[in-house]
Amino acid sequence: MITLWAAILSKLPDWKMFTQAFLSMFIAIGIYYVNKFLRSLVINKGTPAQRENDGKQQADHSNLTVDYEDNLNAIKQVIGSNSDVHFREFEATKLRARAVLIFIDGLQNGEQINGCMMRILMSDTGANLTDISPLGLSTYLLDKVLPVCEAYEAKELHDLNQSILMGCTALLIEGMPSALLIHSSSMKNREINEPSSEALLRGPRIGFTEVLSENTSMLRRQGCNESLEINSYEVGARIKRKLVIAYIKDIVNPDLLQEVRDRIETIHMDFIAESGYIEQLIEDDYLSPFQQAHNTERPDRVISGLLEGRIAILLDGTPFALIVPVTFSMLLQSPEDYYDRWLPGTFLRLLRFFAAFLALMAPALYISFISFHPGLIPTELAVTIIETRQGVPFPSLIEVLILEISIEILREAGIRLPKPIGPAMGIVGGLIIGEAAVQAGIVSPFLVIVVAVTAISSFSIPVYSAGITLRILRFGGMLCASVLGMFGTILFFLILCGHLSKLKSFGVPYVTPISPFRFSDWKDLFIRAPLPLMKKRPKMMKTQDKKRMS
């Protein structure tokens, strides 16, 4: 202690050191507050929108009346100005009453309307129906007359209008204080295709479509299971859309289910265009580069997620379902790992982890080796690389940026290009530009190899959005490496580790099972253990039913 004090007293630090010390503190505090401010921007927004929304909904709630003319006028007033809303008035012969069918052009099935409704209502059966009271009429029609399976009664004007606009056919009859809604929609939708964003060699070729009912039916068709529950929600304040959450009742953790429900109920937005909106509105950390919900087009992927105790969120109008919570390991898994035998599955998975590492770090390592530590690579290799770099006029960061950015542009352009030109452009871009850049002496040939390997590696990541994350982070790594070399790269890795270990998706730590360490879940992490060994569900999801096999 005494020697230490003497050492401290004899060399009091000079003002320069103090300036550096306090500057470093203030910069850190500054970063902290900027971060806090950015987060506070998002959190405070939920409540006022909700109140406004509640007020609006209570405004126009009125019921249908007995008076036919009034009802018709009320409906016409709200939706009658649309040219695609059709009012077909006729005389329901056997009821001796006027009636009207209201439907939207292109949303209804004409044959059904003609065949069932009009024929039955207009034909004169001779039976005397006038003694039925107007109040019982709707029940009578539903029970005895109309041969339609999806038909129900609507008494409330607002709901009625909405249902008509959603594609139902409404039947209004004189004297009846309610309307009958006949679900006859036959919206045209595309066929079920193989999902283009997640192509597989082995496995089902089925992918979700834009129609929610078809998607949920695809989940049901995966196999008979009475504990698969599908709950429906309505999202969007102005344009309403159906959203369902699917889970397996006796596997999912109830706390997780409640959390997902709570978060979905906080969504207040006028229109939810795609499931990406949901993902962004319910995620834990909006500043994180990592996705916190897993999007997929594959029903098999969803169902296996459900069986692990996760929850799926499906939105009408998009083929992309969300699976929550997501963990880091999921981003590098493909359903194919399980369909193939375990040895190829394991091999491919290890390969993907390696590819992810390359996609993230290869350019950063190149920069730090070339600019800072050429002595650390084998001498002959170092000599070769430096020889080829001799004519390059830029520092290695600029050199890498030139090629990386042009590859990224090429990739972005490749998505937009029409299919027949795409591959040709790839060849032109990749081969010719690369070759020409080397010839012109802008970049070194070794760098072309590095960038090409990086690009190919990032294609091997099975989840597209995870690939983008790695592509963004790669530039961060390159910047760190260009400032502090290998030390900067290590710091970048440490920051990434720190961020990942703080990040949670719906309460599940993002990097589990690596940390918190759950050894039994390692069977499905870097390797894919033989199926008979994977007797239990992942521990991280804290499922009710722990066993997969008995």
Partner 1 sequence: MFIRTDDKITTTQTSIFITDSVLGAGILTLPRSVIEAAQTPDVWLSVIVGGFIVILVALVMVKLSQQFPNHTVYQYAKRIVGTVPGGMLSVCLIIYFIVIAGFEVRVFAEVTMYYLLEGTPIWAIVIPFIWVGAYISSGGINSIARVFQIIFPISIFILVLSYFLSIRIFEIDNLRPVLSEGLVPVFKGLKSTVLIFTGFEVIMNLVAHMQHPEKAVKATFTGIGIPFVLYLMTVIVVIGGMSVDSVLNSTWPTIDLLRSFEITGLIFERFEFPFLVIWMMQLFCNFTSFYFNASLGISQVFGFKIQTVIFGLIPAIFITTLLPERINEVFKLGDSIGKMGIALFFLVPVLLSFIFIFRKKVLKQNV
Considering only 68, 103, 372, 446, the residue that binds partner 1 (CB under 8 A) is 372
Size of the site for partner 1 (CB under 8 A): 52
Considering only 488, 505, 524, 537, the residue that binds partner 1 (CB under 8 A) is 488
Crossing angle between the packed helical segments 342-367 and 445-459, to the nearest 10 degrees: 140
Hey, which residues between 116 and 155 contact partner 1 (CB under 8 A)?
none
Stretch that binds partner 1, among 67-75, 293-301, 347-355, 502-510 (CB under 8 A): 502-510
Nearest alpha-carbon partner for 230 in 244, 219, 213, 217: 244
Nearest alpha-carbon partner for 243 in 229, 254, 230: 230
Stretch that binds partner 1, among 143-151, 265-273, 370-378, 425-433 (CB under 8 A): 370-378
Considering only 65, 125, 280, 515, the residue that binds partner 1 (CB under 8 A) is 515
CB of 505 to partner 1, least distance (A): 11
Smaller CB separation from partner 1, 128 or 379: 379
For the CA atoms of 340, 343, 344, 350, what is the dihedral angle to 10 degrees?
120
Stretch that binds partner 1, among 37-45, 191-199, 450-458, 509-517 (CB under 8 A): 509-517
Distance, in Å, from the CA atom of 226 to the CA atom of 431, rounded to the nearest integer, reads 55
Stretch that binds partner 1, among 233-241, 288-296, 375-383, 406-414 (CB under 8 A): 375-383
8 binds partner 1 (CB under 8 A): yes
| Number of residues assigned to the chain | 550
Residue 51's φ and ψ, nearest 5 degrees, are -65, -45
CB of 82 to partner 1, least distance (A): 47
Largest CA distance in the chain: 117
CB of 284 to partner 1, least distance (A): 11
Distance, in Å, from the CA atom of 379 to the CA atom of 385, rounded to the nearest integer, reads 10
Considering only 28, 122, 421, 533, the residue that binds partner 1 (CB under 8 A) is 28
Signed CA dihedral, 366, 367, 370, 373: sign only? negative
376 binds partner 1 (CB under 8 A): yes
131 to 119, 172, 219: CA distances (angstroms): 22, 19, 48
Strand partners, 508: 505
Smaller CB separation from partner 1, 13 or 110: 13
511 binds partner 1 (CB under 8 A): yes
Q: Where would I find the H helices in 428-463?
A: 434-440, 445-459
433 binds partner 1 (CB under 8 A): no
Tokens of 34: 């900027």
Distance, in Å, from the CA atom of 299 to the CA atom of 201, rounded to the nearest integer, reads 16
25 binds partner 1 (CB under 8 A): yes
Smaller CB separation from partner 1, 147 or 254: 254
Considering only 34, 432, 497, 531, the residue that binds partner 1 (CB under 8 A) is 497
CB of 329 to partner 1, least distance (A): 13
Crossing angle between the packed helical segments 68-79 and 157-166, to the nearest 10 degrees: 50
Considering only 55, 378, 420, 532, the residue that binds partner 1 (CB under 8 A) is 378
Stretch that binds partner 1, among 116-124, 286-294, 418-426, 482-490 (CB under 8 A): 482-490
Distance, in Å, from the CA atom of 370 to the CA atom of 450, rounded to the nearest integer, reads 12
Smaller CB separation from partner 1, 12 or 201: 12
Q: Is 520 exposed, middle or buried (0-12, 13-18, 19+ CB in 10 A)?
A: middle
Smaller CB separation from partner 1, 488 or 538: 488
Stretch that binds partner 1, among 23-31, 70-78, 397-405, 529-537 (CB under 8 A): 23-31
3-state secondary structure string, 192-239? CCCCCCCCCCCCCCCCCCCCHHHHHHHHHHCCCCCCEEEEEEEECCCC
550 to 283, 477, 536, 547: CA distances (angstroms): 36, 47, 9, 7
Stretch that binds partner 1, among 200-208, 252-260, 338-346, 425-433 (CB under 8 A): 252-260
Nearest alpha-carbon partner for 234 in 222, 245, 221: 245
Considering only 242, 493, 520, 526, the residue that binds partner 1 (CB under 8 A) is 493
Tokens of 251: 């596997």
Report yes or no: 64 and 156 within 8 Å, Cβ to Cβ: yes
287 binds partner 1 (CB under 8 A): no
114 binds partner 1 (CB under 8 A): no
221 binds partner 1 (CB under 8 A): no
Nearest alpha-carbon partner for 208 in 132, 301, 294: 301
1 binds partner 1 (CB under 8 A): yes
DSSP tag of 86: E
542 binds partner 1 (CB under 8 A): yes
Considering only 486, 520, 544, 548, the residue that binds partner 1 (CB under 8 A) is 486
Report yes or no: 267 and 278 within 8 Å, Cβ to Cβ: yes
Considering only 79, 479, 490, 529, the residue that binds partner 1 (CB under 8 A) is 490
**Residue numbers of the site for partner 1 (CB under 8 A)?**
1, 3-4, 7-8, 11, 13, 17-18, 20-22, 24-25, 27-29, 32, 253, 255-256, 259, 372-373, 376-379, 484-488, 490-491, 493-495, 497-498, 500-502, 506-507, 509, 511, 514-517, 542
